[in-house]
Copies of this chain bind each other. A is one copy, B any other.
């Protein structure tokens, strides 16, 4: 038996569970919550469509790979709501352990490459990671805006929270952040946000 192939197939089967991790966001024309696997597909598609808007030169294949695997830590750790109050460091630690476990199914040099891309995404210190992170934040904003406020409305989010938690889009793409601010402005006009506490 081909042991490398066996390991790779085990890895594919193991990562299938990403389809069972539910996020807070819903698809535009569906009431159910989306799962992390379809979200990963969508942010990769967004990167391919929007690559020209990156602030810096990027390697778009690295960005796509990063986005396809950026949430593998959630297979063990689950999704954390972007506006949750759980200390970020605890969730990060759980996700890092999860990523380590799942990539461990791969042959050694593949494990190292995938884990390294996963860490690069988390650290957001390279042009590729900054643009990938912008995609990861931009797409849920589009979904919320196109589904009458979506999770913003459902969870009583205020506009300033959305700005605060998504402003790093600007590090990856100025033009997308300009677009995001217009979305937030239109969403405020449409009453998608809760009132700011006075």
Task: Give A138 Cβ to nearest chain B Cβ, in Å.
Answer: 9
Q: How many chain copies?
A: 2
**Contact between B69 and A12, CB atoms less than 8 A apart:** no
Instruction: Answer yes or no: A5 CB below 8 A from chain B CBs.
Output: yes
Q: Which of A33-41, A84-92, A119-127, A159-167 contacts B (4 or more CB under 8 A)?
A: A33-41
User: A68 touches which one: B11, B30, B45, B179 (CB < 8 A)?
Assistant: B45
Task: Give A110 Cβ to nearest chain B Cβ, in Å.
Answer: 7
Contacts of A41 in B (CB 8 A): 18, 37-38, 40-41, 44, 68
User: A5 touches which one: B27, B143, B175 (CB < 8 A)?
Assistant: B175
0/1 string, A44-55, CB within 8 A of B gives 1: 111011101100
Answer whether A146 and B13 are a contact pair too, CB < 8 Å, given A34-B19, A37-B38, A179-B5: yes
B-binding residues in A (CB < 8 A): 2, 4-5, 8-9, 11-13, 15-20, 27-30, 34-35, 37-38, 40-42, 44-46, 48-50, 52-53, 60-61, 64-65, 68-69, 106, 110, 139, 142-143, 146, 175-176, 179
